[in-house]
Chain A
Amino acid sequence: MVVNKNPVNGAMFLLLSLVGMAGLFVMLDAALLAFVLLLVYAGAVVALFLFIIMLLDTRPESLKPFKKLSILASTVGGALLLLGVYSLSHRVMLSSAAPVGPAPTLKNYAEQLFTTYLLPVQVVGFMLLIAMLGVIVLSKKFAPVEDAK
């Protein structure tokens, strides 16, 4: 995705990594999240990305001009992150034991979502509404200012 010239190929690799991520979620007993991930991301978001890529008709760019500064920054940043996790996994003992507790079933999940986290659920719904309105406003064609007077 990162080193591919064509944005469409990038979107396809994003789709691939999303499916892999859903598989990892299933391995973590979070089948519901995997399902949501596949539906929302692989279904809707990647399709939206592809749609926008087609709409904007971006030509494949030449990858040659990576700036030296950004190469340096990404190398340093990646190295720092890797170093952090290396030291974390060698100094601090992350529990290497098997997962504890009952598997998060749909019932537990819904119970949490609609008792403990009821307010956040409502806030999230409200935010979705706001996002929808914002997108409508953004994608509207505005009349020129002279006409608005």
Chain B
Amino acid sequence: MSLNAYILISLLLFVIGFIGVLLRKNTLVIYMCLELMLLASTLALVAFSRFNGTLDGSVFVFFILTIAAAEVAVGLAIIVALFRKRHTVQVEELSALKN
């Protein structure tokens, strides 16, 4: 596969995640879509670093994966705390900052 194909796949995944973040209302699904976007950028990074013959991109991807895992844990804890307080995870009902 050429570099173009990898970039196209990565872009497609990114767009799917992007659309999901904008359209969905369940916080958990939005979070999963964010993960998808992160993965897409990861794929682009690995592809570029491989086709450039360097290793730096892969090392960065390693860091990205680590931080993203930590972020998932924290984010899910926040969502659980939110659910405890407001008894909902739907974005449209969480409008305390609106006015």
Please encode chain A, from 70 to 94, with 1 for each CB lying within 8 Å of some chain B CB and 0 for all others: 1101100110011001001100001
Interface of chain B, main secondary structure = helix
- Residues B39 and A21 in contact, CB atoms below 8 Å apart: yes
Residue among B8, B13, B14, B26 with the highest chain A CB neighbour number at 10 A:
B26
Closest to A72 in B: B22
* A112-B63 Cα distance, complex, nearest whole Å: 13
* A117-B56 Cα distance, complex, nearest whole Å: 9
- Residues B4 and A89 in contact, CB atoms below 8 Å apart: yes
Q: Collect the chain A residues with CB atoms within 8 Å of residue B58's CB.
A: 30, 32-33, 104, 109
- Residues A1 and B81 in contact, CB atoms below 8 Å apart: no
Candidates B15, B18, B25, B70; contact of A131 at CB < 8 Å: B70
Within the complex, the shortest CB–CB distance from B8 to chain A, in Å, comes to: 7
Contact size range, A: 35 or more
Q: Collect the chain B residues with CB atoms within 8 Å of residue A27's CB.
A: 1
B94 at the binding interface (Cβ < 8 Å): no
- Residues A28 and B46 in contact, CB atoms below 8 Å apart: yes
- Residues A14 and B32 in contact, CB atoms below 8 Å apart: yes
Known contacts A1-B16, A95-B3; A135 and B73 CB within 8 A of each other: yes
- Residues A139 and B20 in contact, CB atoms below 8 Å apart: no
Within the complex, the shortest CB–CB distance from A31 to chain B, in Å, comes to: 11
Candidates A2, A18, A112; contact of B59 at CB < 8 Å: A112
User: Which residues on A are within 8 Å of B, measured CB to CB?
Assistant: 1-2, 7, 10-11, 14, 17-18, 21, 24-25, 27-30, 32-33, 36-37, 40-41, 44-45, 48-49, 52-53, 55-56, 58, 61, 66, 70-71, 73-74, 77-78, 81-82, 85, 88-89, 94-97, 99-102, 104, 108-109, 112-113, 116-117, 120, 124, 127-128, 131-132, 134-135, 138-139
15 A-B contacts (beta carbon < 8 Å): A37-B65, A40-B69, A41-B39, A58-B89, A70-B23, A77-B22, A89-B4, A96-B4, A101-B54, A102-B53, A131-B74, A134-B77, A135-B73, A135-B74, A138-B78
User: Which residues on B are within 8 Å of A, measured CB to CB?
Assistant: 1-4, 6-9, 11, 13-16, 18-20, 22-26, 28-29, 31-33, 35-36, 39, 42-43, 46-47, 50-56, 58-59, 61-63, 65-67, 69-74, 76-81, 83, 89-90
